[in-house]
Structure 1
Amino acid sequence: MATRLNPYISFAGTARQAMEFYKDVFGGTLNMSTFGDMGAPVDADGIMHAMLETDSGYTIMGADTPPGMEHRAGTDMAVSLSGDDAVQLREYWDKLSASGSVQVPLEQQMWGDTFGSCTDRFGVTWMVNITG
């Protein structure tokens, strides 16, 4: 297997809902394991590991933060989507930003690309860049 770079997102008890949401946005195959599946005595229904592998080649991993560990939603990372397929990237943008908040509207920027930044309803920051 080749080395790959992908986000791994920690959630405060909403990993299942978030990963199912991202599957609705990007499609693909979602696999999830709970703490209970792994024999952990706490938070048996919490997601210990989730991996979404999309048909477009994206991989997103996530998990619920285990009890007793600090969680800082979205403030320590962003997920970047970039490329030249404007139709697909705009569709992703529309779904991600619809129930969240927009920091930078998806529009042409001074460097010639179309770019936007939003935070989805789970507190994750997304940057979308469509090559000009």
Structure 2
Amino acid sequence: MSVTTTTHLNFRGSAREALDFYQSVFGGHAIAVTYKDAGNVQNENEADWVMWGQVIADNGFHVMAYDVPSAMPYEQGANPFFVSVRGEDADEISTLWQRLADGSNVLRPLEPAAWAPLYGMLTDRFGVTWVLDVTAPYNG
């Protein structure tokens, strides 16, 4: 079993531009799934915003990004990243979740999501926001 941690950057409407920029700098492949692609449009003006995106390169560079919806608070630079913990084993991710959840504020419970077998978000007692998920192949 293994998990990885990845910096998960937060934007408001500019995630795609940022991902394209980071790809131009570091190389690799960019993927961007919009709220419309995922069937999760809350605001029609934000349908083409990035709900999940990443750049991953053979040189080891990996960054994830998304556009924070307008229904959620966002101040550029105030909460610029999450730590993403991803793995293939649901039991392992669930165990890590339970440990991190001690004294945390659960923003989204760890449960199945349309895009992952398990997905959850919490802010730990130190103010760090963690996103944990069980990976699933993207067939977009």
In structure 1, what is the equivalent of residue 24 of structure 2? 24
* Mapped pair 1:40 → 2:43: no
- How many residues are paired up? 78
Q: Render the CA deviation track for 1:27-65: whole Å, top value 9, x for unaligned.
A: 001111000001123211110000111121121000000
More strand by share: 2
In structure 2, the CA distance between the partners of 1:77 and 1:17, relative to structure 1 (3 Å rule), is: closer
Cα RMSD for the two superposed structures: 1.8
The amino acid across from 1:51 in the alignment is Q
Q: Does structure 1 retain, via aligned residues, the 8 Å contact 2:9–2:66?
A: yes
- Equivalent pairs: percent with the same residue? 32
- Alpha-carbon distance, 1:77 to partner: 5.2
Gaps of 5+ in 1: 79-132
Q: Normalising by structure 1, report the TM-score.
A: 0.54
Secondary structure, aligned partner of 1:17: helix
Q: Pick from 68, 71, 76: which aligns with 1:73?
A: 76
In structure 2, what is the equivalent of residue 9 of structure 1? 9
Q: Does structure 2 retain, via aligned residues, the 8 Å contact 1:9–1:62?
A: yes
Secondary structure, aligned partner of 1:9: strand
- Alpha-carbon distance, 1:5 to partner: 1.9
Partner Cα distance (2:5, 2:23) in 1: 18
Specify the structure having the higher radius of gyration (Cα): 1
The amino acid across from 1:73 in the alignment is Q
Q: Render the CA deviation track for 1:44-91: whole Å, top value 9, x for unaligned.
A: 11100001111211210000001211113234457xxxxxxxxxxxxx
Gaps of 5+ in 2: 82-140
Correspondence 1:85-124 to 2 at 5 A: none
Q: Normalising by structure 2, report the TM-score.
A: 0.51
RCO higher in structure (CA 8 A, sep ≥6): 2
- The runs of 4+ residues in structure 1 deviating greater than 4 Å are none
Q: Does structure 2 retain, via aligned residues, the 8 Å contact 1:6–1:58?
A: no
Partner Cα distance (2:51, 2:80) in 1: 19
